[in-house]
Amino acid sequence: MAGKQAQRESLNVKMGQPNFWDNPEKAQEIIGGLKPLNGLLKPYEELKSQAENIQALGEMSEEDNSFDTELESELNAIEKALSAFEMRAMLSGSQDASNAYLRIQAGTGGTEACDWAEMLMRMYGRWAERHGFEAEIVDKLDNEEAGIRSATLRIVGDYAYGQLQSEAGVHRLVRISPFDSNARRQTSFAAVDVTPEIDGTITIEVRSDELRRDTFRSGGPGGQHQNKTESGVRYTHLPTGVAAESRSQRSQHKNDDMAMKMLKARLYQIEEQKQKAEVEKLYDEKGEVAWGYQIRNYVLQPYTLAKDVRTEVQTAQVQNVLDGDIDEFIQAYLRLKAEKAHKKAAK
Q: What are the structural domains of the chain?
A: 2-89 (1.20.58.410), 96-347 (3.30.70.1660)
Report the chain's C-alpha Rg in angstroms: 23
321-337 per-position pLDDT tens digit: 999 999 999 999 998 98
3-state secondary structure of 98: coil
Predicted confidence at residue 289, as pLDDT, reads 43
Is residue 189 within a helix (H) or strand (E), and if so which, with residue range?
strand 185-196
pTM check: above 0.75: no
Do 189 and 107 contact (CB within 8 A), yes or no?
Answer: yes
What would the DSSP string read from start to end of 121-153?
A: HHHHHHHHHHTT-EEEEEEEEE-SSSSEEEEEE
158-192 per-position pLDDT tens digit: 889 999 999 999 999 999 988 877 778 889 999 99
272-304 per-position pLDDT tens digit: 666 554 434 443 444 444 455 789 999 998 899
How far apart, in whole angstroms, are the C-alpha atoms of residue 318 and residue 325?
A: 9
Predicted confidence at residue 56, as pLDDT, reads 86
